[in-house]
Amino acid sequence: MPHRYTQFTPMPQMSGFAAELHGLDLGKPLTDTTKAELRQALLDFEVLLIPPVELSAERHIELASAFGSVAKGAFFPRKDGYPDIEIITCDEQHPPELNVWHSDVSWKEVPPTGTVIQLIDLPPQGGNTVWSSCSKAFDALSDGFKTYLRGLTATHSWQASLVQDALEASGEEAVVNAVRAFKPVTHPLVRIHPESGKEVLFINEAFTRKINGVHFRESRAILEFLREWMIQPEFVYSHKWQKHGIAVWDNRSTQHYAVADYWPARRSLQRVTFQSEADSAARTSGQAK
């Protein structure tokens, strides 16, 4: 039975995926009903697109906190005076680095639940963000292959990724410290989403290094097959931004790619990450091991 929405109308851009929220009024404080419907919509549609409205730092944080507790996020520079707000700016001196399929920080035991971003500086052309639904990608596989994949786990690491490149730019010490602090982690290859119950393929090109317990050639071939499988147009939504457009994604059931076709023009965004207790609870209970 589809959920009924009273505070806005979700308009999915593809069947069951990437919904524009029509009629959502961010001009006033969010009521408990609106927050509950936003959480439900994120489970139903995995990516939410909110029409442009300039958010103050406080309203941006408030919107993120509708989905969970505001979290540390990734490793981007912070907005002055707002440690919860990360800023990603690309310009002539700072080329884009996120044009690789990833789910954020999947190399941690409990990766972020999701993120709310607002586009601040819109390039004259291009600069879409593209999301792929990891639940649609899993659903479309054959039953026999699903059964095979359900038994597997994969290793995720920041090493030999864009994160290592960024650390290297800060010097050897930064890399050595990260090697000590952030060991590779194991995630199930098929995760049961702790809140929606959907089964999702939890692997990505940036951070998944190998499938555990199988020959390395099997691992390499299956990961390459899945990488290609997961980015078929049927599972992918490419979002054309407007200035001050807002998007929210569920980092457990989607992966994303920031298209670098605008560079060297300037593009910048602000982001606030949130964490749901369900994720750490699932990890502790062993479901996400």
- The one-letter amino acid code at 268 reads S
Catalytic residue chosen out of the listed positions 156, 191, 252, 256: 256
Q: How far apart are CA 118 and CA 54, in angstroms?
A: 8
Rama region for 203: left / alpha / beta (φ>0; ψ in -120 to 50; rest): beta
Q: Is 271 a catalytic residue?
A: yes
Question: Binding to Fe ion (CB under 5 A): which residues in 93-122?
Answer: 104
When the beta carbons of 70 and 269 are compared against ligand AKG, the nearer one is 269
Structure tokens at 170: 């800060």
CB of 251 to ligand AKG, least distance (A): 8
Catalytic residue chosen out of the listed positions 44, 84, 104, 279: 104
- If one asks whether residue 258 binds ligand AKG (CB under 6 A), the answer comes out as yes
Work out which of 34, 113, 129, 135 binds ligand AKG, going by CB under 6 A. Answer: 129
How many angstroms separate the Cα of 137 from the Cα of each of 36, 47, 164, 199, 275? 27, 15, 28, 10, 24
CB atoms within 10 A of CB 194: 19
180-219 footprint of ligand AKG as x/- string (CB under 6 A): ----------------------------------------
- If one asks whether residue 104 binds ligand AKG (CB under 6 A), the answer comes out as yes
- If one asks whether residue 205 binds Fe ion (CB under 5 A), the answer comes out as no
- If one asks whether residue 252 binds ligand AKG (CB under 6 A), the answer comes out as no
CB of 87 to ligand AKG, least distance (A): 10
- If one asks whether residue 84 binds Fe ion (CB under 5 A), the answer comes out as no
Q: Is 84 a catalytic residue?
A: no
Spatial contact of 276 and 110, defined as CB atoms under 8 Å apart: no
Q: Which of 117, 126, 105 minimizes the C-alpha distance to 185? A: 105
CA dihedral 200, 179, 167, 78 (to 10 degrees): 70
The DSSP line for 82-143 is EEEEEEEEEBTTB-----S-B-TTTTSSS---EEEEEEEE--SS---EEEEEHHHHHHTS-H
Q: Is 256 a catalytic residue?
A: yes
When the beta carbons of 8 and 249 are compared against ligand AKG, the nearer one is 249
- If one asks whether residue 117 binds ligand AKG (CB under 6 A), the answer comes out as yes
Work out which of 38, 271, 272, 276 binds ligand AKG, going by CB under 6 A. Answer: 271
When the beta carbons of 86 and 104 are compared against Fe ion, the nearer one is 104
Q: How far apart are CA 235 and CA 257, in angstroms?
A: 13
Q: What's the full length of the chain, in residues?
A: 289
Strand partners, 154: 187, 211
- If one asks whether residue 86 binds Fe ion (CB under 5 A), the answer comes out as no
Q: Is 104 a catalytic residue?
A: yes
- If one asks whether residue 156 binds ligand AKG (CB under 6 A), the answer comes out as no
Could you tell which of ligand AKG, Fe ion, none binds residue 88, using a CB distance below 5 to 8 A set by kind? ligand AKG
Question: Binding to ligand AKG (CB under 6 A): which residues in 50-89?
Answer: 88
- If one asks whether residue 230 binds ligand AKG (CB under 6 A), the answer comes out as no
- Angle subtended by helix axes 162-169 and 172-181, to nearest 10: 130
Q: How far apart are CA 188 and CA 149, in angstroms?
A: 9
Binding region for Fe ion (CB under 5 A): 104
Q: Catalytic site residues?
A: 102, 104, 256, 271
Binding region for ligand AKG (CB under 6 A): 88, 98, 104, 115, 117, 129, 256, 258, 269, 271
